[in-house]
Chains A and B, each alone.
Chain A
Amino acid sequence: MAERKIRVLVAKPGLDGHDRGAKVVARALRDAGMEVIYTGLRQTPEMIAEAALQEDVDVVGLSILSGAHMALAPRILELLKGNGQEHVLVFLGGIIPDEDIPALKEMGVAGVYGPGASTEQIVADIRSAVPA
């Protein structure tokens, strides 16, 4: 039996074109031994949910710098649930004001990482949250 790998979808929903952060995180997760499916820029919530389904991922990592997180995150959570993937953990990175974090966590976002967050922390959080 082959070793089970943690599979992570890294996606950028919405219209901002800055994917440096998403790429840094993708690389860090790769270096931590995870399999990262990178989907590129300007993904709609529907595209992200469909990719998460086809790839049977454990985690979806969203990078949002446009300020639209309060609209995009709930939509993606809802679509994942609609597809029967309520077990998928959603992590959020980018520019997220502190005051929005409690509401995002309330919706079901598993973690929020802003500028200065360490990739080690993200790796550690994913490892402890994904059932072995």
Chain B
Amino acid sequence: MTLADAVLAGDRLSLARLLTRVENETPEGLAALDELFPHTGRAHLIGITGAPGTGKSSLVNQIAIHFRKLDKKVAIVAVDPSSPFTGGAVLGDRVRMRDLSGDKGVFIRSMASRGSLGGLATATAGVVQVFDAAGFEIVLIETVGAGQSEVDIARLAHTTLVVEAPGLGDEIQAIKAGILEIADILVINKADRPGVESTERALKTMLELAHPVQKIFQHHGTYMAVQASAEEMAGMWMPIIQRTVATEGKGLPELLGSIQSHGEYLRQSGNWQKRERARLEAEFDALVQNELVARFRAGLTEKRLDETVDSIQKRQLSPREAVNLLLNGVGK
């Protein structure tokens, strides 16, 4: 029996071991991914991102508890940063998830980002695929504490939650490009804290600008509003703003409802398939690039590479000319 077979049969130790091999990208791990691929595509992948300290882990803990009440099997992939200097990491997300221990319907895996900068680790997509194939219906993916540009999660997840907390920024932060744009659901956690009103107002304004329900224009000096047309509104998801207090479980039933209605929306609008297709294409693309680079490098001796870099440094060749020369034998 292969490791993949054992995972499909529901063996938890084999699952844990396979996750390690996938994370280390060993030949055995990669072969198992191929073997499991036909069994993937069933889970609802839910991303949870946001700045450090907004309460992502506590929220994941509560979301998992509520999905367990619906008898769904839940996997959690929690990513924390690796040290850029030593490559080591302290993965502390489990500290907030102790309520889940003892429940065999939950499987939590901590991952270090291992130098990847987009908020996830390179192997996170593979780890998620293994959980999907193993029959987990809900996969919660918690990113590293993200600032403004860690948006890989939106490509991987079906539904992306961006977690905010009161007092973290003003309206200018809210209209900047980046992380808020990827939200399907905006969660204002720690909503028992002062400042929640103004945070909600800022986020609402931002959403209305990004997803116009009304169009505002200036006509002879006066501002006029026109309702967006039915075609413009159809097939569009208006992100939901949800207040929660994760440590007390407040707002969680409502949040779960929003997550499920987003899932429904994706399935009914055809966007589930569209998103999946875009993701698979991007994944394929990345693999092609890696493979081509690897083959190119394999056919290039250390000496030739050195000489080429020398000529670039001596300004005899531009980097682009050097690439052309090596790939096609053309150039100076």
Contacts and interface: CB of A to CB of B under 8 A. Distances in A.
Contacts of B98: 39-40, 43, 47
A114 interface: no
Nearest to A1: B25
A83 B13 CA distance: 7
13 contacts: A2-B23, A5-B114, A27-B90, A32-B88, A35-B82, A38-B92, A38-B94, A40-B94, A43-B98, A53-B12, A53-B16, A54-B107, A84-B13
A20 to B, nearest CB: 15
Q: Which bucket holds chain A's interface residue count?
A: 20 to 34
Contacts of B27: 1
B90 A2 contact: no
Interface of A: 1-5, 7, 26-27, 29-40, 43, 46-47, 50-51, 53-56, 83-85
B91 A36 contact: yes
Interface of B: 12-13, 16-17, 19-20, 23-27, 82-83, 86-92, 94-95, 98, 101-102, 107-110, 112, 114, 122-123
Contacts of A51: 94, 101, 108
Contacts of A30: 83, 86, 88-90
Contact of A47 (B13, B89, B101): B101
A84 B12 CA distance: 10
Contact of B91 (A4, A37, A83): A37
Given A5-B24, A56-B19, 8 more contacts: A2-B24, A2-B25, A27-B90, A36-B91, A46-B101, A46-B102, A53-B16, A56-B20
A54 B83 CA distance: 23
B294 to A, nearest CB: 11
Contacts of A55: 16, 109-110
B140 to A, nearest CB: 14
A36 B88 contact: yes
A2 B89 CA distance: 16
